[in-house]
Amino acid sequence: MQTIHQRFQIEYQYSVFFTENLFHQNNPLLKDFFSNYKDQGFQRKALVVVDEGFANHHPTLEQDIKSYFESQVQDIALAKDIIFVPGGEASKNDPALFEKLCKAVDIYGIDRHSFVVGIGGGAVLDLVGYAAAVSHRGIKLIRIPTTVLSQNDSGVGVKNGINFHGKKNFLGTFAPAVAVFNDLTFLRSLEDRDWRGGISEAIKVALIKDAGFFTWMEENATKLVNRDEEAMAYLIHRCAEMHTDHIAGGDPFEFGSSRPLDFGHWAAHKLEYLTNFEVRHGEAVAIGIALDCVYAVQIGMLAESDLYRILDLLTKLGFDLYHPKLAENDKINLRNGLQEFREHLGGRLTIMLLEKIGKGVEVHELDADIIAKSVDYLETATLATPEKIS
Amino acid sequence: MQTIHQRFQIEYQYSVFFTENLFHQNNPLLKDFFSNYKDQGFQRKALVVVDEGFANHHPTLEQDIKSYFESQVQDIALAKDIIFVPGGEASKNDPALFEKLCKAVDIYGIDRHSFVVGIGGGAVLDLVGYAAAVSHRGIKLIRIPTTVLSQNDSGVGVKNGINFHGKKNFLGTFAPAVAVFNDLTFLRSLEDRDWRGGISEAIKVALIKDAGFFTWMEENATKLVNRDEEAMAYLIHRCAEMHTDHIAGGDPFEFGSSRPLDFGHWAAHKLEYLTNFEVRHGEAVAIGIALDCVYAVQIGMLAESDLYRILDLLTKLGFDLYHPKLAENDKINLRNGLQEFREHLGGRLTIMLLEKIGKGVEVHELDADIIAKSVDYLETATLATPEKIS
Ligand SMILES: NC(=O)c1ccc[n+]([C@@H]2O[C@H](COP(=O)([O-])OP(=O)(O)OC[C@H]3O[C@@H](n4cnc5c(N)ncnc54)[C@H](O)[C@@H]3O)[C@@H](O)[C@H]2O)c1
Ligand SMILES: NC(=O)c1ccc[n+]([C@@H]2O[C@H](COP(=O)([O-])OP(=O)(O)OC[C@H]3O[C@@H](n4cnc5c(N)ncnc54)[C@H](O)[C@@H]3O)[C@@H](O)[C@H]2O)c1
Ligand SMILES: [Zn+2]
Ligand SMILES: [Zn+2]
């Protein structure tokens, strides 16, 4: 019998909107978006899931959402309850929360033409996105990211996931949202560390792709530290744009082994785990970038002057460059992260390193001794100013 | 800030191979397939998961697989254990089995460039496919279907899933395999009811798309009943081809509300549940087809002569046309299935009915009283030959 050859393409599109005061009665953005989904013959619904850590700072949120839907979005029936989940990594560690969301999809009769709306940080969006992606084989997802990191990176991308038996993002899918709404005003309530945290993803993408953007951050470091919203709006937009461009231009569902946007991430993921998530993703990425840049200098790939600019910017922004867990167990714990990173990506170990600011280059192995030396370097660097170390 | 518009396409392709004695040393098919995946720099692995109901009839299977990999497929490292899971719907009902497979992916170090190989009936393949699709956000899946239904329908398609809190296929994804291997000899050990069961999916697709194929089945009914392998090979190939063509030509990931291939399925899904899966999927589909064809006659859409041909073929093949659970609770239980079907598909209720043999047509409502009458009709029909009823 003749072999059957099957072949087809799936097209995805979505928009990332930038706004302020998304749920104010006079903000038409969400209403206009939903008006594209007016249909005859059936009622679409929306189930809203909110990050408690965000909600705690926005006491009128629940009422604002309900009023907005009631007065502005008549065509979509809002589920009668809004679901709250704990914020941060805890949301991805507890399988009961995943179950709770799937059950909510069932209880409120959310079907594949209805919407799940996730509001929160990257962790909650990863959880909500995963539950939406596998319930009924995929419900339309709207992401409303409320941290810098989720507005400029995770929220605009195509991935979701939860942790499983101690493995970060072990369960997940590639599932683009149907829309992303970035509200600048939502960032006001962020702790400084989360305001800062997401900047490391912008540094990451600037370092491997856009020296001009890196320079812009150097020039605007003080503004960013002082929580200047205009500067942050620019940073988020540019970073989001670079992420979406990269995804569309490359390998959106990561069938290959190359993941340039994971620059600085192999050590970051491990450090998050080793610290039981006390070091948050963005903070860990800053350290991961620092480590891999020191490594690149050690192997003669990157100029020291570039390294100093990088460590300097990270320091100015308030990032730690070192954590004692990096050195634990003779650095073996950290180095195990390399193998785990390879396993999660699959295929050949592929690590992005830096040739110069604005240009990354992929390598396929890292030397254990040089990793160890790089860790030592960063330990010492935190005791002095970067300029004094060679 | 300007809205970012994101857009990209993902291409999928895979082949469905037809063979005999897949794991015989002199069958090069699998070896040749894997030789496309020779890479420098890393080791791909394969984790094999087998349906116990199938394995029980194939005592040398484990050894055959191990020997085949050892002598033929040097480039792929077979995980040291083969995983066995119970066959049938039980595999989709027990969340612990899903967990077990995800853990196995972790334990045996199966990454996104390695393979999970599922061998079994449609239920086991749905479970294995789901676990593979969400572990590490998607591991390459090879399906080796061992029932008629999985060889001609579920195994060649793009869906997977498990049941969740009593809802069939509530959790799942759209995730094509990288290859499907249909081995005719694997079907020899099937119980008659499973040999027969999958034929209902061929009848389904013939009825809505290909009158000629329906006629072929009428002409070959006796052969099919007598387990003629040549006839079955043709039936499976034609049915698989119609399924893959439909998927590629239409809406592979079912973004719309239309699901022609679910002809006969709304009642079938409900009946499976109402009977606690004692009635199997293919058997339930036969009854679902019968019911919807009677319905179509009742509303004057389908000619009675066509109905008789359909009921006659189903009967000749040994299918029941009725089950007492259809009538339970004044048929309300059955009718609830209509709403659940709509919810799972999402959007507007869309049901495929038959205009004539070879031509389906979609409708957007079914009348409760006429459903009830159609059930009564089938109840009576089972007490007489179809020809005697009007
Ligand atoms: N899917 C992806 O592509 C991707 C990419 C990068 C990171 N991530 C994931 O994102 C997560 C990190 O996300 P994050 O940095 O947004 O942190 P987070 O989601 O862990 O949130 C940090 C804390 O801020 C709180 N919070 C959220 N919004 C707030 C607000 N506006 N005001 C006050 N508090 C607020 C949360 O409740 C939480 O306690 C990690 O799990 C990481 O793995 C995913
Ligand atoms: N994913 C899809 O697109 C799709 C489409 C249609 C049906 N399905 C699903 O497929 C399932 C039904 O699959 P099925 O009809 O293959 O039945 P099944 O998987 O339930 O298997 C029936 C029985 O046959 C046994 N078995 C399997 N192969 C055998 C062999 N060669 N010899 C002897 N015994 C064998 C199994 O252990 C089981 O006990 C349902 O769960 C249904 O929902 C999925
Ligand atoms: Zn990141
Ligand atoms: Zn079916």
> Which of A158, A189, A220 is the C-terminal boundary of a domain?
A189
**A35: in domain:** yes
Instruction: Write out the two tokens for A382.
Output: 């935190």
- Compare CB distances from A5 to B15, B165, B172 and report the shortest one's residue: B15
CB A53 within 8 A of CB A88: yes
**A7: in domain:** no
- CA B233 vs. chain centroid, Å, equals 16
CA distance A339 to A358: 27
CA distance B102 to B131: 6
- CA A57 vs. chain centroid, Å, equals 21
Q: Do A237 and B102 touch (CB under 8 A)?
A: no
The dihedral formed by the CA atoms of B135, B137, B142 and B145, expressed in degrees to the nearest 10: 70
Q: Which of residues 81-110 of A touch B (CB under 8 A)?
A: 102-103, 106, 109
- Compare CB distances from A113 to B40, B241, B257 and report the shortest one's residue: B257
Query: Is A37 touching B (CB cutoff 8 A)?
Result: no
Q: Do A9 and B14 touch (CB under 8 A)?
A: no
pLDDT at A390 over 50: no
Instruction: Write out the two tokens for A162.
Output: 């939860």
On whether both A284 and A376 belong to a single domain, the answer is yes
> Which of B189, B208, B228 is the C-terminal boundary of a domain?
B189
Helix locations, A79-228, DSSP H = 90-93, 95-107, 122-134, 148-152, 192-197, 199-209, 211-219, 221-225
Query: Is A347 touching B (CB cutoff 8 A)?
Result: yes
Digit-coded pLDDT (tens) for A80-115: 999 999 999 999 999 999 999 999 999 999 999 999
Diameter over CA atoms, chain B: 73
B323-330 long-range contacts, CB within 8 A, separation 24+: B323/B271, B323/B275, B323/B279, B323/B287, B325/B271, B325/B274, B325/B275, B325/B279, B326/B267, B326/B271, B326/B274, B326/B287, B326/B291, B326/B375, B326/B378, B326/B379, B327/B375, B327/B376, B327/B379, B328/B274, B330/B372
CA distance A259 to chain B (A): 13
- Compare CB distances from A3 to B18, B170, B176 and report the shortest one's residue: B18
> Which of A140, A170, A189 is the C-terminal boundary of a domain?
A189
Diameter over CA atoms, chain A: 73
On whether both A316 and A219 belong to a single domain, the answer is yes
On whether both B269 and B163 belong to a single domain, the answer is no
On whether both A223 and A359 belong to a single domain, the answer is yes
Q: What is the pLDDT of residue A41?
A: 72
CA distance A24 to A16: 19
Q: Give the H or E element holding residue A62.
A: helix A61-72
For ligand 2, residues with CB inside 6 Å are B 51, 53-54, 57, 87-89, 92, 120-124, 126, 146-147, 149-150, 153-154, 157, 159-160, 186-187, 189-190, 194, 197, 280-282
Q: What is the pLDDT of residue B91?
A: 97
Q: What CATH number is associated with residue B331?
A: 1.20.1090.10
Distances (CA, A) of B162 to A115, B279, B284: 22, 18, 18
E strands along chain B, which residues? Answer: 4-19, 44-51, 76-78, 83-85, 115-120, 140-145, 162-164, 167-171, 179-183, 351-356, 359-363
On whether both B242 and B336 belong to a single domain, the answer is yes
Write out chain B residues lying below 8 Å of A233, CB-based.
1
Sign of CA dihedral B286, B221, B18, A9: negative
Sign of CA dihedral A268, A272, A273, A274: positive
Amino acid at B261: L
Instruction: Write out the two tokens for B246.
Output: 């439909």
**Residue B75 sits in which domain range?**
15-189
Digit-coded pLDDT (tens) for B176-223: 999 999 999 999 999 999 999 999 999 999 999 999 999 999 999 999
**B275: in domain:** yes
**A125: in domain:** yes
On whether both B319 and B248 belong to a single domain, the answer is yes
On whether both B23 and B151 belong to a single domain, the answer is yes
Q: What are the residues whose beta carbons fall under 8 Å from the beta carbon of A328, sequence distance 6 or more? A: A274, A334
On whether both B158 and B212 belong to a single domain, the answer is no
Nearest CA to ligand 2 atom 19: B121
Instruction: Tell me A184's DSSP state.
Output: G
Write out chain A residues lying below 8 Å of B39, CB-based.
347-348
The bridge status of strand A351-356 relative to strand A359-363 is antiparallel
Nearest CA to ligand 2 atom 3: B154
Give the count of beta carbons closer than 10 Å to the beta carbon of residue A244. Answer: 23
**A223: in domain:** yes
For chain A, the residue count is 390
Domain count, chain A: 2
pTM for the model stands at: 0.95
| φ and ψ at residue B177, rounded to 5 degrees | -75, 165
CA distance A326 to A335: 9
Q: How far apart are the CA of B285 and the centre of ligand 4, in A?
A: 6
On whether both B165 and B304 belong to a single domain, the answer is no
Query: Is A193 touching B (CB cutoff 8 A)?
Result: no
**B71: in domain:** yes
On whether both B174 and B255 belong to a single domain, the answer is no
Q: Give the H or E element holding residue B29.
A: helix B29-35
CA distance B304 to chain A (A): 31
Q: What are the residues whose beta carbons fall under 8 Å from the beta carbon of A304, sequence distance 6 or more? A: A297, A390
**A327: in domain:** yes
Buried b (16+ CB within 10 A) or exposed e, B369-388: eebbebbebbeebbeeebee
The dihedral formed by the CA atoms of A62, A67, A69 and A74, expressed in degrees to the nearest 10: 160
Task: Using CA coordinates, name the residue in chain B closest to A364.
Answer: B41
Confidence of residue A211 (pLDDT cuts 50, 70, 90): very high
ipTM: 0.94
Distances (CA, A) of A149 to A120, A132, A265: 11, 21, 14
CB B263 within 8 A of CB B208: yes
On whether both B371 and B230 belong to a single domain, the answer is yes
DSSP β-bridge partners for residue B54: none
Q: What is the pLDDT along chain B (390 residues), one digit of tens a residue?
A: 899 999 999 999 999 999 999 999 999 999 999 999 887 678 899 999 999 999 999 999 999 999 999 999 988 999 999 999 999 999 999 999 999 999 999 999 999 999 999 999 999 999 999 999 999 999 999 999 999 999 999 999 999 999 998 888 999 999 999 999 999 999 999 999 999 999 999 999 999 999 999 999 999 999 999 999 999 999 999 999 999 999 998 889 888 877 889 999 999 999 999 999 999 999 999 999 999 999 999 999 999 999 999 999 999 999 999 999 999 999 999 999 998 888 777 778 899 999 999 999 999 999 999 999 999 999 998 765 545 444
On whether both A136 and A217 belong to a single domain, the answer is no
Q: What CATH number is associated with residue A151?
A: 3.40.50.1970
**B387: in domain:** no
Residue A98 region by backbone torsions, left for phi larger than 0, else alpha for psi between -120 and 50, else beta: alpha
What mean pLDDT do residues A174-186 have?
A: 98
Instruction: Write out the two tokens for B264.
Output: 């006969």
Digit-coded pLDDT (tens) for A212-262: 999 999 999 999 999 999 999 999 999 999 999 999 988 899 888 778 899
Digit-coded pLDDT (tens) for A124-133: 999 999 999 9
Considering only CA atoms, give the Rg of chain B. 21
